[in-house]
Amino acid sequence: MDGWVLGLESTAHTLSFGAVRSDGSTLPAAIDAIRPREGGIHPREAADHHRDVAQSLLSNLLERHGLSMSDLAGVAYSQGPGMGPCLQVGAGIARALSAAHDVPLIGVNHCVAHIEIGRWECDCDDPVLLYVSGGNTQVITRLAGKYRVLGETLDIGIGNMLDKFARKFGHPFPGGPVIEQHASAYIEANPNASLKGLELPYAVRGMDMAFSGLMTAAVAMVHRGVPFDAVCWSLQEHAFAACVEVAERAMAHAGKHELLLGGGVACNQRLRNMCDTMAVEREGTSHAPPRMYCIDNGTMIAQLGWLELNAGRTTPYHASAVDPGLRTDATPIVW
């Protein structure tokens, strides 16, 4: 295939354009995320944000990497899952670019893109993905030609849980990094800290997880007078242990030896360390892509688009509608 593939990410708070060259090499994405002054992310406001910044963001990508639209080979976009209005803005831009430059359109699955960018960047082959983002928390692996969800959150995503907890105490979105700082401060000051007296509900339900009760209990713990740093530390320990436990069981059941992290919460160093420890104990390996490819980014969309285009799969206009509830296992692995 000649030419480069453009990737457009717009599932939630982030609009991003990324690119992959014809040989598959990935280029860092241009990224712009809405930062609500208060409260969570409103889908309509996020969609407006995406529309407002799209043109300058695309120019930024082209300039930064010396790309020309005349060499474009295809336009990939997130078809789902995500917030309807946000997805629609992305799909609209992708259709327009595809028509204007007469190149194929490739609608891709956002969750699968997290897996494929991780496989590519970390050079791992057949991992169990621990996908921990704002809206999603899933444990995924390839079985019988599809990526299957072996466990997932039953209520809110782990990132949303961290963001909501932080917001209750005045820290705006994104709260995850703030909690990480407070948790690190606590463990540095108390290297022998124990969870005794800092117990929270455990989030595992069979192979699934549930985080809202954990958050409510952590908020109550701060209101009882337990120092904020200590609660942040305990919250991270409990929430991450639940994810790592489910991922470990998935590896055991599916007979896999590689663990791969993806999603914004995978930026967290404590989570990365816990995954390393678990993988080493199982004589396996744990992988985490560079942080710019853990967060939502257009490069991962371009990379999955590049894989699908090379395998001959494109999206005709009539099948290009977005699907906010698109499931990971709805996408056949054709590459």
The contact set with ligand AMP (CB under 6 A) reads 14, 133-134, 159, 162-163, 174-177, 180, 263-265, 267-268, 295-296
Give 47's contacts (C-beta < 8 A, 6+ positions apart): 83, 85, 86, 88, 89
Residue 266 or 275: the one with the smaller Cβ distance to Mg ion is: 266
Compute the least distance from the CB of residue 174 to ligand AMP, in Å: 3
Residues in the chain: 335
Residue 73 or 182: the one with the smaller Cβ distance to ligand AMP is: 182
Residue from 133, 268, 286, 315 touching Mg ion (CB under 5 A): that is 133
3-class secondary-structure state, position 220 = helix
Region binding Mg ion by CB under 5 A among candidate stretches 77-85, 241-249, 293-301, 309-317: 293-301
| Residues 74-113: x where in contact with Mg ion by CB under 5 A, - otherwise, as a string | ----------------------------------------
User: Which strands make up the sheet holding 4-9, listed edge to edge?
Assistant: 26-33, 14-20, 4-9, 72-80, 105-109
Residue 243 or 295: the one with the smaller Cβ distance to ligand AMP is: 295
| Residues 202-231: x where in contact with Mg ion by CB under 5 A, - otherwise, as a string | ------------------------------
Q: Of Mg ion, ligand AMP, none, which one does residue 118 interact with (CB within 5 to 8 Å by kind)?
A: none
Where does 123-173 have alpha helices with state H? 158-168
3-class secondary-structure state, position 319 = helix
Residue 74 or 90: the one with the smaller Cβ distance to ligand AMP is: 90
Cα angle for residues 44, 330, 100 (degrees, 5° grid) = 55
- Other beta carbons less than 10 A from residue 315's beta carbon: 24
Q: What is the dihedral of CA 205, 209, 212, 215, to 10 degrees?
A: 100
Residue 110 or 142: the one with the smaller Cβ distance to ligand AMP is: 110
Residue from 163, 245, 296, 308 touching Mg ion (CB under 5 A): that is 296
Region binding Mg ion by CB under 5 A among candidate stretches 49-57, 65-73, 88-96, 132-140: 132-140
Compute the least distance from the CB of residue 104 to Mg ion, in Å: 24
The verdict on 153 binding Mg ion (CB under 5 A) reads no
Q: Of ligand AMP, Mg ion, none, which one does residue 297 interact with (CB within 5 to 8 Å by kind)?
A: none
Residue 257 or 272: the one with the smaller Cβ distance to ligand AMP is: 272
Compute the least distance from the CB of residue 296 to Mg ion, in Å: 4
Phi then psi dihedrals of residue 267, to 5 deg: -70, -15
Cα angle for residues 135, 140, 159 (degrees, 5° grid) = 20
User: Counting beta carbons within 10 angstroms of the beta carbon of residue 16, is it exposed (0 to 12), middle (13 to 18) or buried (19 or more)?
Assistant: buried
Residue 44 CA to residue 58 CA, distance in Å, equals 21
Q: Of ligand AMP, Mg ion, none, which one does residue 174 interact with (CB within 5 to 8 Å by kind)?
A: ligand AMP
Residue 105 or 301: the one with the smaller Cβ distance to Mg ion is: 301
Alpha-carbon torsion (90, 91, 97, 98), positive or negative: positive
- Other beta carbons less than 10 A from residue 269's beta carbon: 11
Compute the least distance from the CB of residue 102 to ligand AMP, in Å: 32
Residues forming the site for Mg ion (CB under 5 A): 133, 296
